[in-house]
Amino acid sequence: MIDDDDDFDFDQEFSEEDNKEFERQRKEEERKLNEHPLFVQANEILNIVDALMDTAEEDARHMHEALLKESAMIICAKLASGLTSESYVICMQKASIIRDHAEFLRLSNHTLEYCEGLDPNYIKMFREEMEKFRNLFKIWAAEIHKMIPDFEDENWGLFVK
């Protein structure tokens, strides 16, 4: 539903100066994201999943690759929006999705240990990197908890303080 009180003109052309400022802010936000330890760690996990699956025998790859890569990619995508948001509710929404996928990956290590056709060294590295991710995630979660809720999650009542 469009708010009649909204005066934003979508056809408005922005000045060269406005465009440069927007681009500067976008690049700064992208730089901060790419340097954030949690985002760096999430990308490391995605790389390890890729390496693990690249070295796996065909049966093991067929059984595990899709779910592991999907969860690792979702974590990266949700972090990209969660780490750049200043909204308590949005951060909590993203964090809960990330936590679910990260826990799936973390617990998958136990299954992978008993699966033939996977390099045990990559499995060990995967477990260690997931533990690092979990610890970094807890730091981010503490930062979210310090935020002031920007609106009530009235529809669902889930992310309220």
User: Residues 154, 158, 159, 161: what is their CA dihedral angle, to the nearest 10 degrees?
Assistant: 90
Stretch among 12-16, 57-61, 143-147 having the lowest mean pLDDT: 12-16
CA 42/CA 92 separation, integer angstroms: 18
Q: What is the pLDDT of residue 156?
A: 77
pLDDT digits (tens, 9 = 90+) for 27-52: 988 899 999 999 999 999 999 999 99
Q: What is the mean pLDDT of the chain?
A: 89
- AA identity, residue 89: V
Higher pLDDT, 11 or 22: 22
CA 17/CA 68 separation, integer angstroms: 44
Place of tokens 């070295």: 55
Best mean pLDDT range from 11-15, 19-23, 26-30, 33-37: 33-37
Q: What is the mean pLDDT of residues 137-148?
A: 94
Nearest to residue 39, comparing CAs of 79, 8, 84?
79
Domains in the chain with CATH codes = 37-146 (1.20.1440.60)
pLDDT digits (tens, 9 = 90+) for 53-93: 999 999 989 999 999 999 999 999 999 999 999 999 899 99
What's the pTM value of the predicted model, to 2 decimals? 0.83
> How many secondary structure helices (H) and strands (E) does the chain include?
5, 0
Higher pLDDT, 136 or 11: 136
Q: What is the pLDDT of residue 110?
A: 87
CA 45/CA 39 separation, integer angstroms: 10
